[in-house]
Protein backbone atom coordinates (compact mmCIF):
# COMPACT_ATOMS: atom_id res chain seq x y z
CA UNK A 1 0.00 0.00 0.00
CA UNK A 2 1.43 3.32 -0.99
CA UNK A 3 2.01 5.90 1.68
CA UNK A 4 -0.03 9.07 1.97
CA UNK A 5 1.20 11.81 -0.32
CA UNK A 6 2.64 14.69 1.67
CA UNK A 7 2.58 17.99 -0.25
CA UNK A 8 5.82 19.05 1.46
CA UNK A 9 7.59 16.50 -0.74
CA UNK A 10 7.65 19.10 -3.53
CA UNK A 11 9.36 21.63 -1.23
CA UNK A 12 12.06 19.09 -0.36
CA UNK A 13 12.51 18.23 -4.04
CA UNK A 14 12.68 21.91 -5.03
CA UNK A 15 15.29 22.63 -2.35
CA UNK A 16 17.41 19.67 -3.46
CA UNK A 17 17.09 20.80 -7.08
CA UNK A 18 18.19 24.33 -6.21
CA UNK A 19 21.39 23.28 -4.43
CA UNK A 20 22.07 20.77 -7.22
CA UNK A 21 21.93 23.58 -9.78
CA UNK A 22 24.61 25.60 -8.00
CA UNK A 23 26.95 22.66 -7.29
CA UNK A 24 26.91 21.79 -11.00
CA UNK A 25 27.32 25.45 -11.94
CA UNK A 26 30.47 25.50 -9.85
CA UNK A 27 31.72 22.28 -11.44
CA UNK A 28 31.92 23.68 -14.96
CA UNK A 29 32.33 27.39 -14.30
CA UNK A 30 35.67 27.32 -16.14
CA UNK A 31 34.99 24.51 -18.63
CA UNK A 32 33.13 26.61 -21.21
CA UNK A 33 35.87 29.27 -21.17
CA UNK A 34 38.90 27.02 -20.68
CA UNK A 35 41.07 28.75 -23.27
CA UNK A 36 40.17 32.20 -21.95
CA UNK A 37 40.88 31.01 -18.40
CA UNK A 38 44.32 29.81 -19.46
CA UNK A 39 45.05 33.30 -20.73
CA UNK A 40 43.74 34.96 -17.55
CA UNK A 41 45.70 32.72 -15.15
CA UNK A 42 48.83 32.70 -17.33
CA UNK A 43 51.92 32.53 -15.15
CA UNK A 44 50.06 31.04 -12.16
CA UNK A 45 50.33 27.43 -13.35
CA UNK A 46 52.14 25.20 -15.82
CA UNK A 47 49.90 24.18 -18.73
CA UNK A 48 51.61 20.80 -18.89
CA UNK A 49 51.20 20.09 -15.17
CA UNK A 50 48.36 18.14 -13.59
CA UNK A 51 47.02 21.24 -11.83
CA UNK A 52 45.90 23.15 -14.91
CA UNK A 53 42.53 24.64 -15.93
CA UNK A 54 41.18 21.23 -16.99
CA UNK A 55 41.90 19.98 -13.44
CA UNK A 56 39.11 22.23 -12.14
CA UNK A 57 36.54 20.01 -13.86
CA UNK A 58 38.50 16.80 -13.36
CA UNK A 59 38.73 17.42 -9.59
CA UNK A 60 35.00 16.71 -9.16
CA UNK A 61 35.53 13.22 -10.56
CA UNK A 62 38.72 12.58 -8.61
CA UNK A 63 37.32 13.68 -5.25
CA UNK A 64 34.14 11.69 -5.88
CA UNK A 65 36.20 8.49 -5.82
CA UNK A 66 37.17 9.25 -2.22
CA UNK A 67 33.99 10.82 -0.84
CA UNK A 68 31.19 8.89 -2.58
CA UNK A 69 30.90 5.91 -0.23
CA UNK A 70 31.25 7.99 2.98
CA UNK A 71 28.56 10.32 1.63
CA UNK A 72 26.22 7.40 0.89
CA UNK A 73 26.85 6.03 4.38
CA UNK A 74 26.09 9.41 5.97
CA UNK A 75 22.83 9.77 4.04
CA UNK A 76 21.76 6.22 4.85
CA UNK A 77 22.78 6.37 8.51
CA UNK A 78 21.66 9.86 9.49
CA UNK A 79 19.00 10.70 6.90
CA UNK A 80 18.80 13.18 4.07
CA UNK A 81 18.55 16.25 6.32
CA UNK A 82 21.98 15.75 7.87
CA UNK A 83 23.58 14.01 4.91
CA UNK A 84 22.52 16.46 2.21
CA UNK A 85 22.74 19.30 4.73
CA UNK A 86 26.47 18.70 5.19
CA UNK A 87 26.89 19.04 1.43
CA UNK A 88 24.96 22.32 1.57
CA UNK A 89 27.32 23.71 4.22
CA UNK A 90 30.38 22.79 2.15
CA UNK A 91 28.80 24.41 -0.91
CA UNK A 92 28.19 27.68 0.94
CA UNK A 93 31.67 27.90 2.47
CA UNK A 94 33.74 26.94 -0.55
CA UNK A 95 31.47 28.73 -3.01
CA UNK A 96 32.25 31.99 -1.21
CA UNK A 97 35.94 31.14 -1.00
CA UNK A 98 36.09 30.53 -4.74
CA UNK A 99 34.06 33.64 -5.43
CA UNK A 100 36.15 36.06 -3.42
CA UNK A 101 39.48 34.43 -4.28
CA UNK A 102 38.75 34.05 -7.98
CA UNK A 103 41.84 35.91 -9.18
CA UNK A 104 44.20 33.51 -7.39
CA UNK A 105 44.45 30.15 -9.18
CA UNK A 106 45.69 28.35 -6.08
CA UNK A 107 42.69 29.50 -4.03
CA UNK A 108 40.38 28.54 -6.87
CA UNK A 109 41.80 24.99 -6.87
CA UNK A 110 41.44 24.65 -3.08
CA UNK A 111 37.85 25.90 -3.20
CA UNK A 112 37.05 23.64 -6.16
CA UNK A 113 38.24 20.60 -4.20
CA UNK A 114 35.97 21.64 -1.31
CA UNK A 115 33.03 21.98 -3.70
CA UNK A 116 33.91 18.61 -5.21
CA UNK A 117 33.64 17.08 -1.72
CA UNK A 118 30.17 18.62 -1.35
CA UNK A 119 28.83 17.13 -4.58
CA UNK A 120 28.36 13.46 -3.53
CA UNK A 121 26.50 14.49 -0.36
CA UNK A 122 24.00 16.21 -2.65
CA UNK A 123 23.79 13.92 -5.68
CA UNK A 124 23.83 10.62 -3.77
CA UNK A 125 20.71 11.67 -1.89
CA UNK A 126 18.34 11.82 -4.87
CA UNK A 127 16.88 8.30 -4.78
CA UNK A 128 16.91 8.30 -0.95
CA UNK A 129 14.88 11.53 -1.03
CA UNK A 130 12.50 9.99 -3.59
CA UNK A 131 12.01 6.88 -1.45
CA UNK A 132 11.48 8.97 1.69
CA UNK A 133 8.93 11.36 0.23
CA UNK A 134 7.39 9.96 -2.99
CA UNK A 135 5.22 6.93 -3.81
CA UNK A 136 6.66 4.40 -6.27
CA UNK A 137 4.73 5.76 -9.25
CA UNK A 138 6.26 9.21 -8.76
CA UNK A 139 9.85 8.25 -8.01
CA UNK A 140 11.04 8.20 -11.62
CA UNK A 141 9.56 11.67 -12.03
CA UNK A 142 11.25 12.88 -8.83
CA UNK A 143 14.59 11.46 -9.95
CA UNK A 144 14.07 13.02 -13.38
CA UNK A 145 13.42 16.46 -11.92
CA UNK A 146 16.45 16.16 -9.64
CA UNK A 147 18.57 15.23 -12.66
CA UNK A 148 17.02 18.13 -14.56
CA UNK A 149 18.53 20.39 -11.90
CA UNK A 150 21.98 19.02 -12.71
CA UNK A 151 21.44 19.87 -16.35
CA UNK A 152 20.17 23.35 -15.55
CA UNK A 153 23.35 24.01 -13.58
CA UNK A 154 25.50 22.70 -16.41
CA UNK A 155 23.67 24.67 -19.09
CA UNK A 156 24.00 27.82 -16.97
CA UNK A 157 27.74 27.24 -16.79
CA UNK A 158 27.93 26.58 -20.53
CA UNK A 159 25.60 29.34 -21.66
CA UNK A 160 25.97 32.17 -19.14
CA UNK A 161 29.68 31.99 -18.30
CA UNK A 162 30.88 32.96 -21.83
CA UNK A 163 28.63 36.03 -21.65
CA UNK A 164 30.33 37.21 -18.44
CA UNK A 165 33.92 36.74 -19.64
CA UNK A 166 35.83 38.21 -22.58
CA UNK A 167 36.28 35.10 -24.73
CA UNK A 168 37.45 36.43 -28.08
CA UNK A 169 41.18 35.71 -28.61
CA UNK A 170 41.45 38.89 -30.71
CA UNK A 171 40.39 41.10 -27.79
CA UNK A 172 43.28 42.53 -25.72
CA UNK A 173 41.17 41.90 -22.58
CA UNK A 174 40.91 38.17 -23.39
CA UNK A 175 39.97 36.31 -20.18
CA UNK A 176 38.93 39.38 -18.19
CA UNK A 177 35.73 39.10 -16.12
CA UNK A 178 36.53 35.78 -14.46
CA UNK A 179 36.81 37.09 -10.85
CA UNK A 180 33.49 38.96 -11.13
CA UNK A 181 31.83 35.87 -12.61
CA UNK A 182 33.11 33.64 -9.81
CA UNK A 183 32.07 36.17 -7.16
CA UNK A 184 28.52 36.23 -8.55
CA UNK A 185 28.39 32.42 -8.64
CA UNK A 186 29.77 32.22 -5.10
CA UNK A 187 27.12 34.48 -3.60
CA UNK A 188 24.33 32.66 -5.44
CA UNK A 189 25.71 29.31 -4.29
CA UNK A 190 25.92 30.34 -0.63
CA UNK A 191 22.41 31.78 -0.48
CA UNK A 192 20.89 28.79 -2.29
CA UNK A 193 22.75 26.20 -0.22
CA UNK A 194 21.78 27.76 3.10
CA UNK A 195 18.13 27.93 2.01
CA UNK A 196 18.23 24.24 1.05
CA UNK A 197 19.81 23.40 4.41
CA UNK A 198 16.79 24.98 6.14
CA UNK A 199 14.12 23.44 3.88
CA UNK A 200 15.26 19.82 3.43
CA UNK A 201 13.68 17.51 6.02
CA UNK A 202 13.78 13.79 6.68
CA UNK A 203 10.84 11.78 5.37
CA UNK A 204 8.85 8.77 6.49
CA UNK A 205 11.65 6.30 7.19
CA UNK A 206 13.73 8.19 9.75
CA UNK A 207 12.42 7.39 13.22
CA UNK A 208 10.51 4.34 11.97
CA UNK A 209 13.48 2.43 10.62
CA UNK A 210 16.86 2.90 12.28
CA UNK A 211 19.75 2.53 9.85
CA UNK A 212 23.19 1.29 10.90
CA UNK A 213 26.50 0.21 9.42
CA UNK A 214 25.36 -3.42 9.24
CA UNK A 215 22.50 -2.45 6.96
CA UNK A 216 24.88 -0.37 4.88
CA UNK A 217 27.40 -3.18 4.33
CA UNK A 218 24.67 -5.74 3.78
CA UNK A 219 23.29 -3.48 1.08
CA UNK A 220 26.47 -3.84 -0.96
CA UNK A 221 26.24 -7.63 -0.70
CA UNK A 222 22.73 -7.44 -2.11
CA UNK A 223 23.75 -5.02 -4.87
CA UNK A 224 26.64 -7.15 -6.11
CA UNK A 225 24.51 -10.31 -6.05
CA UNK A 226 22.02 -8.83 -8.53
CA UNK A 227 22.85 -9.51 -12.18
CA UNK A 228 20.79 -6.59 -13.46
CA UNK A 229 22.52 -4.22 -11.05
CA UNK A 230 25.94 -5.29 -12.34
CA UNK A 231 24.81 -4.67 -15.91
CA UNK A 232 23.45 -1.27 -14.89
CA UNK A 233 26.81 -0.41 -13.33
CA UNK A 234 28.46 -1.26 -16.66
CA UNK A 235 26.01 1.02 -18.49
CA UNK A 236 26.84 3.93 -16.19
CA UNK A 237 30.55 3.19 -16.44
CA UNK A 238 30.24 3.84 -20.17
CA UNK A 239 27.40 6.36 -20.57
CA UNK A 240 27.97 8.60 -17.56
CA UNK A 241 31.72 8.45 -18.05
CA UNK A 242 31.34 9.70 -21.61
CA UNK A 243 28.97 12.45 -20.52
CA UNK A 244 31.33 13.61 -17.77
CA UNK A 245 34.29 13.70 -20.15
CA UNK A 246 32.44 15.54 -22.92
CA UNK A 247 31.00 18.06 -20.42
CA UNK A 248 34.41 18.67 -18.86
CA UNK A 249 36.13 19.27 -22.19
CA UNK A 250 33.35 20.85 -24.23
CA UNK A 251 35.48 23.86 -25.13
CA UNK A 252 38.37 21.63 -26.19
CA UNK A 253 35.97 19.55 -28.29
CA UNK A 254 34.75 22.75 -29.93
CA UNK A 255 38.34 23.61 -30.77
CA UNK A 256 38.87 20.10 -32.16
CA UNK A 257 35.86 20.65 -34.43
CA UNK A 258 37.23 23.97 -35.67
CA UNK A 259 35.28 26.49 -33.55
CA UNK A 260 37.63 29.40 -32.93
CA UNK A 261 36.02 31.02 -29.87
CA UNK A 262 34.50 29.70 -26.63
CA UNK A 263 30.86 30.14 -27.57
CA UNK A 264 29.69 27.14 -25.50
CA UNK A 265 26.92 26.21 -27.95
CA UNK A 266 27.83 22.53 -28.19
CA UNK A 267 27.49 22.23 -24.43
CA UNK A 268 24.33 24.35 -24.37
CA UNK A 269 22.55 22.18 -26.95
CA UNK A 270 23.73 18.96 -25.29
CA UNK A 271 22.34 20.06 -21.95
CA UNK A 272 19.24 21.52 -23.62
CA UNK A 273 18.50 18.12 -25.10
CA UNK A 274 19.07 16.58 -21.68
CA UNK A 275 16.61 18.97 -20.06
CA UNK A 276 13.89 18.01 -22.52
CA UNK A 277 14.69 14.32 -22.11
CA UNK A 278 14.70 14.52 -18.32
CA UNK A 279 11.31 16.25 -18.37
CA UNK A 280 9.70 13.77 -20.75
CA UNK A 281 11.13 10.25 -20.51
CA UNK A 282 11.14 9.66 -16.71
CA UNK A 283 7.53 10.87 -16.52
CA UNK A 284 6.56 8.50 -19.35
CA UNK A 285 8.44 5.73 -17.56
CA UNK A 286 6.31 6.30 -14.44
CA UNK A 287 3.07 6.61 -16.41
CA UNK A 288 3.68 3.45 -18.44
CA UNK A 289 5.20 1.64 -15.43
CA UNK A 290 8.19 0.52 -17.49
CA UNK A 291 11.93 1.06 -17.05
CA UNK A 292 13.73 -1.25 -19.52
CA UNK A 293 12.16 -0.01 -22.80
CA UNK A 294 13.19 3.56 -21.98
CA UNK A 295 16.73 2.53 -21.12
CA UNK A 296 16.95 0.64 -24.42
CA UNK A 297 15.66 3.71 -26.26
CA UNK A 298 18.26 5.92 -24.60
CA UNK A 299 21.20 3.63 -25.30
CA UNK A 300 20.04 3.18 -28.89
CA UNK A 301 19.81 6.94 -29.41
CA UNK A 302 23.30 7.44 -28.01
CA UNK A 303 24.89 5.40 -30.86
CA UNK A 304 24.28 7.76 -33.84
CA UNK A 305 24.77 10.87 -31.69
CA UNK A 306 28.27 9.85 -30.61
CA UNK A 307 29.13 8.64 -34.10
CA UNK A 308 28.20 12.03 -35.51
CA UNK A 309 30.40 13.89 -33.02
CA UNK A 310 33.31 11.54 -33.61
CA UNK A 311 33.25 11.45 -37.40
CA UNK A 312 31.77 14.81 -38.47
CA UNK A 313 35.15 16.35 -39.23
CA UNK A 314 36.00 13.39 -41.45
CA UNK A 315 32.68 13.40 -43.31
CA UNK A 316 32.46 17.09 -44.24
CA UNK A 317 34.97 19.50 -45.73
CA UNK A 318 33.04 22.63 -44.77
CA UNK A 319 33.78 23.80 -41.19
CA UNK A 320 30.22 25.12 -41.03
CA UNK A 321 28.80 21.69 -41.92
CA UNK A 322 31.00 20.05 -39.29
CA UNK A 323 29.85 22.52 -36.65
CA UNK A 324 26.16 22.20 -37.53
CA UNK A 325 26.39 18.41 -37.46
CA UNK A 326 28.09 18.61 -34.07
CA UNK A 327 25.32 20.82 -32.71
CA UNK A 328 22.59 18.41 -33.82
CA UNK A 329 24.45 15.38 -32.49
CA UNK A 330 25.18 17.14 -29.18
CA UNK A 331 21.46 17.83 -28.73
CA UNK A 332 20.48 14.21 -29.25
CA UNK A 333 23.39 12.94 -27.16
CA UNK A 334 22.09 15.04 -24.28
CA UNK A 335 18.48 14.00 -24.87
CA UNK A 336 19.18 10.27 -24.72
CA UNK A 337 22.14 9.95 -22.34
CA UNK A 338 20.98 12.48 -19.79
CA UNK A 339 17.42 11.18 -19.61
CA UNK A 340 18.83 7.67 -19.09
CA UNK A 341 20.43 8.89 -15.85
CA UNK A 342 17.34 9.38 -13.66
CA UNK A 343 15.59 6.33 -15.10
CA UNK A 344 18.71 4.28 -14.46
CA UNK A 345 19.07 5.58 -10.90
CA UNK A 346 15.51 4.61 -10.07
CA UNK A 347 15.80 1.29 -11.89
CA UNK A 348 18.91 0.47 -9.85
CA UNK A 349 17.15 1.40 -6.59
CA UNK A 350 14.28 -0.92 -7.50
CA UNK A 351 16.35 -3.83 -8.78
CA UNK A 352 18.66 -3.76 -5.73
CA UNK A 353 15.89 -3.36 -3.11
CA UNK A 354 16.15 -3.64 -0.06
CA UNK A 355 19.68 -2.22 -0.34
CA UNK A 356 19.75 1.49 0.61
CA UNK A 357 18.93 3.75 -2.32
CA UNK A 358 21.90 6.02 -1.58
CA UNK A 359 24.21 3.02 -1.94
CA UNK A 360 22.98 1.96 -5.37
CA UNK A 361 22.95 5.52 -6.68
CA UNK A 362 26.35 6.23 -5.15
CA UNK A 363 27.87 3.23 -6.90
CA UNK A 364 26.41 4.25 -10.26
CA UNK A 365 27.76 7.77 -9.90
CA UNK A 366 31.09 6.39 -8.71
CA UNK A 367 31.36 4.20 -11.80
CA UNK A 368 30.69 7.19 -14.05
CA UNK A 369 33.20 9.34 -12.18
CA UNK A 370 35.95 6.71 -12.47
CA UNK A 371 35.52 6.26 -16.20
CA UNK A 372 34.89 9.98 -16.71
CA UNK A 373 38.15 10.80 -14.98
CA UNK A 374 40.04 8.28 -17.12
CA UNK A 375 38.38 9.50 -20.33
CA UNK A 376 39.03 13.15 -19.46
CA UNK A 377 42.67 12.47 -18.65
CA UNK A 378 43.16 10.63 -21.93
CA UNK A 379 41.45 13.35 -23.96
CA UNK A 380 43.23 16.28 -22.32
CA UNK A 381 46.71 14.75 -22.10
CA UNK A 382 49.56 16.15 -24.22
CA UNK A 383 47.55 19.24 -25.13
CA UNK A 384 44.45 17.26 -26.29
CA UNK A 385 46.49 15.10 -28.65
CA UNK A 386 44.26 12.05 -28.12
CA UNK A 387 40.91 13.83 -28.01
CA UNK A 388 39.87 12.76 -31.53
CA UNK A 389 40.79 9.07 -31.20
CA UNK A 390 39.02 8.84 -27.83
CA UNK A 391 35.86 10.28 -29.40
CA UNK A 392 36.01 7.45 -31.96
CA UNK A 393 36.36 4.95 -29.10
CA UNK A 394 33.25 6.49 -27.52
CA UNK A 395 31.21 5.64 -30.61
CA UNK A 396 32.33 1.99 -30.33
CA UNK A 397 31.53 1.89 -26.60
CA UNK A 398 28.02 3.13 -27.35
CA UNK A 399 27.39 -0.07 -29.33
CA UNK A 400 28.53 -2.08 -26.31
CA UNK A 401 26.07 -0.14 -24.12
CA UNK A 402 23.22 -1.00 -26.46
CA UNK A 403 24.15 -4.69 -26.24
CA UNK A 404 24.29 -4.59 -22.43
CA UNK A 405 20.95 -2.84 -21.96
CA UNK A 406 19.20 -5.49 -24.05
CA UNK A 407 20.36 -8.06 -21.48
CA UNK A 408 18.70 -6.52 -18.40
CA UNK A 409 15.25 -7.42 -17.08
CA UNK A 410 12.36 -5.19 -16.09
CA UNK A 411 12.27 -3.67 -12.59
CA UNK A 412 10.92 -6.28 -10.13
CA UNK A 413 9.13 -3.62 -8.04
CA UNK A 414 7.42 -2.32 -11.16
CA UNK A 415 6.34 -5.86 -12.04
CA UNK A 416 4.96 -6.52 -8.54
CA UNK A 417 3.64 -3.00 -8.03
CA UNK A 418 4.85 -3.09 -4.42
CA UNK A 419 7.18 -0.33 -3.26
CA UNK A 420 7.71 -1.73 0.21
CA UNK A 421 8.11 -5.46 -0.33
CA UNK A 422 11.38 -7.14 -1.20
CA UNK A 423 12.05 -7.83 -4.84
CA UNK A 424 11.70 -11.33 -6.27
CA UNK A 425 14.79 -13.51 -6.06
CA UNK A 426 17.38 -12.58 -8.64
CA UNK A 427 19.88 -15.16 -9.82
CA UNK A 428 23.52 -14.34 -9.16
CA UNK A 429 25.71 -13.74 -12.19
CA UNK A 430 26.69 -16.96 -13.84
CA UNK A 431 23.52 -18.87 -13.00
Q: Which residues, 6 or more positions from 302, have their beta carbon under 8 angstroms from its beta carbon?
A: 239, 333, 336, 337, 340, 398, 401, 402
Q: Which residues, 6 or more positions from 380, have their beta carbon under 8 angstroms from its beta carbon?
A: 54, 58, 249, 252, 387
CA–CA separation, 125 and 111 (whole Å):
22
Most confident of 65-69, 179-183, 425-429: 179-183
- Is the pLDDT assigned to residue 222 strictly greater than 50? yes
Q: Which helix (H) or strand (E) holds 353?
A: none
Give the per-residue pLDDT at 374: 86
Per-residue buried b or exposed e for 304-332, using 16+ beta carbons within 10 Å of the residue's own CB: ebbbbbbbbbeeeeeeeebbebbbebbbb
Are 197 and 89 in contact, with CB atoms under 8 Å apart?
Answer: yes
Determine which of 79-93, 243-257, 311-325, 417-431 has the lowest per-residue pLDDT on average: 417-431
Q: Which residues, 6 or more positions from 196, have their beta carbon under 8 angstroms from its beta carbon?
A: 15, 16, 18, 19, 84, 88
Are 21 and 95 in contact, with CB atoms under 8 Å apart?
Answer: no
- Is the pLDDT assigned to residue 215 strictly greater than 90? no
Per-residue pLDDT averaged across 225-240, rounded? 90
Give the per-residue pLDDT at 421: 38
Closest CA to 195 of 21, 6, 16, 24: 16
CA atoms lying within 13 Å on the CB side of residue 208: 5
What would the pLDDT profile of 366-423 be if each residue is shown by its tens digit? 888 888 888 887 877 666 677 878 888 888 998 999 999 999 888 887 777 654 433 3
Q: What is the band of 271 on the pLDDT scale with cuts at 50, 70, 90?
A: confident
What would the pLDDT profile of 301-359 be if each residue is shown by its tens digit? 999 998 888 888 788 777 778 888 888 988 998 899 888 888 888 888 888 877 777 77
3-state SS of 245-272 is HHHHCHHHHHHHCCCCCCCCHHHHHHHH
DSSP structure string for 193-257: HHHHHHH----SSTTTS---HHHHHHHHHHHHH-HHHHHHHHHHHHHHHHHHHHHHTHHHHHHHT
Closest CA to 4 of 209, 204, 288: 204
Q: What is the band of 253 on the pLDDT scale with cuts at 50, 70, 90?
A: confident
How far lies 345's CA from each of 31, 120, 184, 299, 429, in Å? 26, 14, 32, 15, 20
DSSP structure string for 20-70: HHHHHHHHTTTGGGHHHHHHHTTTSS-TTSSSSHHHHHHHHHHHHHHHHHH
Determine which of 106-115, 171-180, 212-221, 308-317 has the lowest per-residue pLDDT on average: 212-221
Most confident of 153-157, 247-251, 316-320, 402-406: 402-406
Rg (CA), the chain: 21
CA–CA separation, 335 and 339 (whole Å):
6
CA–CA separation, 32 and 109 (whole Å):
17
What would the pLDDT profile of 41-58 be if each residue is shown by its tens digit? 887 766 666 667 778 877
Q: Going from the N-terminus, what domains does the chain have, and what CATH number goes with each?
A: 9-416 (1.20.1250.20)
Percent of the chain residues past pLDDT 70, beyond the cut: 88
Amino acid sequence: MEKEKNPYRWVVLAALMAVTVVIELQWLAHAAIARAAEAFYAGQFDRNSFFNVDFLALSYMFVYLIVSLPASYAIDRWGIRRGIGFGCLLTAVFGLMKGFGGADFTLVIIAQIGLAAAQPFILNGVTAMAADWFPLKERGTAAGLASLAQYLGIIAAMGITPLLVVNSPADPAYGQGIPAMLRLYGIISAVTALAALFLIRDGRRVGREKRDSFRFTEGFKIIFARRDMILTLALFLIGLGIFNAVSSLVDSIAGYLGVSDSDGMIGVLMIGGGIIGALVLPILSDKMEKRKPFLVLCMGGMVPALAGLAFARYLFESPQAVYQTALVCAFFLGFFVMSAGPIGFQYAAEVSYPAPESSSQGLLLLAGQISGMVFTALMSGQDNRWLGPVMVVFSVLSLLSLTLVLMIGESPLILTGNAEAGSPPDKPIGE
